[in-house]
Structure 1
Amino acid sequence: MPDLLWQYSLVFLAAATPWLEIMVVIPVAVGFGLSPVPVTIVSFVGNALPVFGIIALFRWWEGRRGPIRRRWSPRAQRVWDRYGLPGVAFAGPVLTGIHLAAVMALAMHADRRLTVVWMTLSLAVWSLITLVATVVGFESMGWLLGGQQPQP
């Protein structure tokens, strides 16, 4: 039991690490033999909590350090101009990482409450997609390599 707690703690910390997104953490943890659903839940929480912290402390940071003056890449600016906060939230985990996507949204003056909603929704959707893809992928590999029939 202590080993299991340690393993899930590592999953949480890995998911909380910027640029180590749920799309990496979930398949790796499941590949190491951890249960897919708890891994997904722990990864979601581990990825979401730092984002909530960023959102909560962003204005304080700007008050102390001044506004973030950054030229966003043309690609990031196009996503913001075309799709706004929802686009940045859903593209973030794939393109930049959800942490940087939250900073970008706030630097572009997105509403904090809406940023929480969209970032959380994005993480939930990507967590579920990653869970399904991971389970299907590992089941398919087992079936292909082991010759076992897939279970209905």
Structure 2
Amino acid sequence: MIWTYFIIFLLAAIPFFEVLLIVPVAIIGGIPAIPVIIIAFLGNLLTIILLIVFVDSVRNWRKKKKGNKEKSESKNKRAKNIWDKYGLPGLAFIGPFFVGSHLTALLAISFGGTRTKTLVLMTFSIAIWAILLGSAAYLGFDSLVKDEEGFGFITRLLDLNK
């Protein structure tokens, strides 16, 4: 089981997999929800911390990188629109859903957010997304799994076994 959690940690740390994808997939796959949420959160947060600490190096690397320019510009526009409308808190909480947490953190600092505020808000954002998606995956999947009484809470709700 340790290898499973290690893989969850690593996948959550990879941009575009992150908490948004890994948490629901792992929970639906049958791995216990609370450890998945915590481990995925820590994996995603670790790379966000590293990104914020080394933001200048990452920014220079992105400038040199070629390819997927239109896609990046499209994502940057969405993030900039969120920034203009809601500021740093809005970008930190909405951005991970639209452009991913790593790019959100990088763009938040690029748009003028301080490293400390960005880190604090991104930490809360990742935690909230992990808990919400983990809860949704757990509760949604649990309601579909057949148990000894029928199909979970749906059977109890409709009293189909009477």
TM-score by length of 2: 0.79
Q: Displacement, 1:82?
A: 1.1
TM-score by length of 1: 0.84
Name the count of aligned residue pairs.
145
Q: Displacement, 1:32?
A: 2.2
Q: Is the 8 A contact 1:21 1:93 kept in 2?
A: no
1:53-74 Cα offsets, whole Å, 9 max, x none, are 0001113555xx4996x96643
Matches within 5 A, 1:135-146: 135-143=138-146
Closer/same/farther in 2, CA of residues 67 and 32 from structure 1, 3 Å limit = closer
Q: Does 1:108 align with 2:111?
A: yes
Gaps of 5+ in 1: none
Whichever of the two has the greater Rg, that structure is: 2
Q: Displacement, 1:101?
A: 0.2
Counterpart residue identity of residue 150, structure 2: G
Closer/same/farther in 2, CA of residues 54 and 66 from structure 1, 3 Å limit = closer
Closer/same/farther in 2, CA of residues 61 and 10 from structure 1, 3 Å limit = closer
The residue aligned with 1:43 is 40
The residue aligned with 2:50 is 53
Q: Displacement, 1:143?
A: 5.0
| Identity across matched positions, percent | 35
Q: Is the 8 A contact 2:83 2:90 kept in 1?
A: yes
Pairing partner for 1:6 from 3, 6, 9: 3
Q: Is the 8 A contact 2:8 2:22 kept in 1?
A: yes
The residue aligned with 1:31 is 28
Q: Displacement, 1:87?
A: 1.0
1:97-145 Cα offsets, whole Å, 9 max, x none, are 000000101111211100011000101111110121011111111159x
Gaps of 5+ in 2: 64-71, 157-162
The residue aligned with 2:77 is 74
Q: Considering only aligned residues, what root-mean-square deviation do their CA atoms show, in Å?
A: 2.5
Structure 1 stretches of at least 4 aligned residues deviating more than 3 Å after TM superposition: 59-62, 65-68, 70-74
Q: Is the 8 A contact 1:55 1:112 kept in 2?
A: yes
Q: Displacement, 1:93?
A: 1.7
